[in-house]
Amino acid sequence: MSGSPSYLKGLNEQQLEAVTHGQEPLLILAGAGSGKTRVITTRIAWLINDMGFEPSSILAVTFTNKAAAEMSDRVQGMVSDAQGVMIKTFHSFGAWLLRRNASLLDMKSHFTIYDDDDVLSLLKTLFDEAPRNELRRYSRDISRAKDDCLQPDDDLSHINPDPSFNEIYRIYETRLRDIGNADFGDLISLPVKMLRESGELKKRIHQKFRVILVDEYQDSNGAQFQLLKELSGPDTWLAVVGDDDQSIYRFRGAEVKNILTFHESFPGTKVIKLEENYRSTGNILSIASSVVSNNSGRLGKTLWTRKGSGVKAKLFYSENQITEAQDCAENIMANSQYGETAVLYRTNAQSREFESTFRKMGIPYRLVGTLSFYSREEIKDTVAFLSFLSNSRDEVAFRRIINKPARGLGKVSLEKVFRYMLDAGGDLLEASKAALGGMKGKGAKGLTDFCRICDQLSEALGESATLAPYVDRVIRESGLLEYHRAQDEVDHSQKVRNLEELVTAADQYDGTMEGLSEFLELIELDQTMLEEEDNDPDRVTLITMHNTKGLEFDRVFITGMEEGLFPRGDEYADDDDIEEERRLFYVSITRARKELFFTSTRRRMLYGRTEDRYPSRFIDELPSELVDTIGEDSGPSGDFKPGTRLYHEDYGVGVVNKNLFNNGHTVLHVIFESGRTAVLMPEFCAHKLEKLGRAEWDS
């Protein structure tokens, strides 16, 4: 290959085959760390230089502006006249196509694109009486419908079973079209509509874009798949790059079936697998392959490397979340290359104990993709309420909580309270009570309720040994729990889990006013230390598993390996849920270059209550010869592990979905073939239970 262009040198056999593939549809299955970005950018350079394609005839689509910019920089570094290549995100390309052909839909080309807040505002004008959280739910469900290219007349029951949802969607869509603007979902669904309805436009697009390449194809949704189908003509050179084993965004609408069935949607597809990994050691890749091979919904590939085996992974069984964080910290300090270390967890709430422990032990860290635990909205709301209960002269805290959740107190009502503030010696609770004499209506009721709640909670302080039950009560009786739970339902956030973790943090303090003051002081000091942090890159990365996509570190700690936490889910979790969680585990494992650690706790405090935990079913899928175990699993009996098939005399055949250990008893959550679910305790119904083996989906 001595006469080859410089950009082709250094490619392995499979990469070169993918780069120089001809016209037939191409699916590049690119395993983690296999150099997929290099392949897709080099293919663009080869198409221009070697095959004579005009740069302007090439369309490359990806999912983030950052990825698009990186791809553009790489291509221009290989081909001097590559500026004409169109490299965009799916949505920016959709906006480009829509603006240039808006007249086909009776739209103006200068339409405004509505973001989530704009959509919510428009819904508010249409359904003024509906609560804001209900409108958020409508907004989310309309977006989901558009992600599937579904219209108001389609069957939407799988998105929202409410019979009125179709009409709500229709009213919203009619108003949006009347205004002449577009929301985010329209940037994909409307171009699909245009291309389907205008043969002339479709012909023109097919002639313009002779080459189409799609990166991260496993993350595409239903509408994006439909757009790709419409953009691709009989003579299009189509290539998609992706990894079915890294499809982890179903909650955003991603459809793993798009990549699994690509060869069916585009007959004659050539599949090329990139399996040589340039990132990780052999042991890490063997662990990853062993885990993901348990999924049935995959095309199949096995990663390998020339780097050698490397060291074994380590699995730590810790007593609880405190010792879990300490175990991680001690191993991190043994090799203080902090900048090459990452601690991964399934939910943001888990970061709190690591933040606290790392600060105590002097380990520098940075949080990626989220705020510091005590900077999150739901935590600041609760801390503000606690601060006001500790000091009713705290005006900042009062202003934050007086109308959260909404109590019908407007500007005029609050001005009345502040007029009494001086007479009350600055005490805003006393000022509120004084102001009630001149108030009526919603404001009076809301302020009365607020004063009653504060009085009751003030009297309750000191009733428990630790502060945790008190903080729990404050969260519930203040209305903050229901307020943030409603936000969770709409936004798929984890605010309630974070509130649970705040209760856990409070368990280390006495349930007295002194204990409350110490707790609030710790939080304030935490914020001060955060403000004083510099930009030192040599810090441990604390990050959720989802946010690690595309990142890599020398050392990776995968924490919280327990049923119900990872994999997440409840008794209603189905096979697809578990397979996606397993893909998330695979992504997490393949972030590590040299060292890999797993942690599982025997007990974990959740919402102020300590629960016995069962090790994650994924631990059973780790090859024992490649993992050193430190500590012993003292969880429940393994007779009925998750994934075990069983027969019950009354219910029939079922599969164990969860196996918990509570108060010395094994508790099984079982899904039966009839669709029924049941909670069983084997020691009390052993004569009715028969173990059948592992379920097919988990064997």
Catalytic residue set: 36-37, 215-216, 246, 591
| CB contact at 8 A, 616 and 283 | no
Tell how strand 58-62 and strand 86-89 pair up: parallel
Of 605, 667, 624, which Cα lies nearest the Cα of 642? 667
| CB contact at 8 A, 87 and 68 | yes
Sorted by sequence, the CB contacts under 8 Å of residue 74 that are 6+ apart come out as: 37, 38, 41
Counting every residue, how long is the chain? 699
33 annotated among ligand-binding-site residues: yes
Q: How far is CA 236 from the centre of its chain?
A: 35
| CB contact at 8 A, 21 and 239 | yes
Handedness of CA 640, 599, 662, 574 (dihedral sign): negative
Sorted by sequence, the CB contacts under 8 Å of residue 362 that are 6+ apart come out as: none
Q: How far apart are CA 189 and CA 389, in angstroms?
A: 51
174 annotated among ligand-binding-site residues: no
* 3-state DSSP assignment of residue 512: coil
Residue 157 has, within 13 A of its CA and on its CB side, a CA count of 2
| Token output for 691 | 């173990």
* 3-state DSSP assignment of residue 177: helix
Residue 116 has, within 13 A of its CA and on its CB side, a CA count of 12
Alpha-carbon distance values, 500 to 297, 468, 497, 562 (Å): 34, 10, 5, 17
Q: How far apart are CA 51 and CA 22, in angstroms?
A: 10
* Alpha helical stretches, state H, 478-593: 480-491, 495-506, 513-532, 575-589
37 annotated among ligand-binding-site residues: yes
Residue 436 has, within 13 A of its CA and on its CB side, a CA count of 15
Q: How far apart are CA 629 and CA 631, in angstroms?
A: 6
CB neighbour burial string for 283-314, b if at least 16 within 10 angstroms, e if fewer: bbbbbbbbbbebbebbeebebebebeebebbb
370 annotated among ligand-binding-site residues: no
432 annotated among ligand-binding-site residues: no
Residue 195 CB neighbours (<10 A): 21
Question: For the chain, how many helices (H) and strands (E)?
Answer: 26, 22
Query: Which element (helix H / strand E) includes 134?
Result: helix 132-147
Alpha-carbon distance values, 41 to 22, 64, 69, 218, 241 (Å): 16, 16, 12, 18, 11
| CB contact at 8 A, 100 and 115 | no
308 annotated among ligand-binding-site residues: no
Kindly report the CA angle at 104 between 101 and 107, in degrees rounded to 5?
80
DSSP 583-633: HHHHHHHTTEEEEEEEEEESEEEETTEEEE--B-GGGGGS-GGGEEEES--
| CB contact at 8 A, 356 and 325 | yes
Of 62, 57, 45, which Cα lies nearest the Cα of 8? 45
Q: How far apart are CA 652 and CA 675, in angstroms?
A: 11
Going by the DSSP 8-state scheme, the letter that residue 267 receives in this structure is: T
Give the largest CA-CA distance in the chain. Answer: 92
Sorted by sequence, the CB contacts under 8 Å of residue 229 that are 6+ apart come out as: 265
Q: How far apart are CA 181 and CA 47, in angstroms?
A: 38
Residues annotated in a binding site for ATP: 30-37
Annotated binding site: 30-37
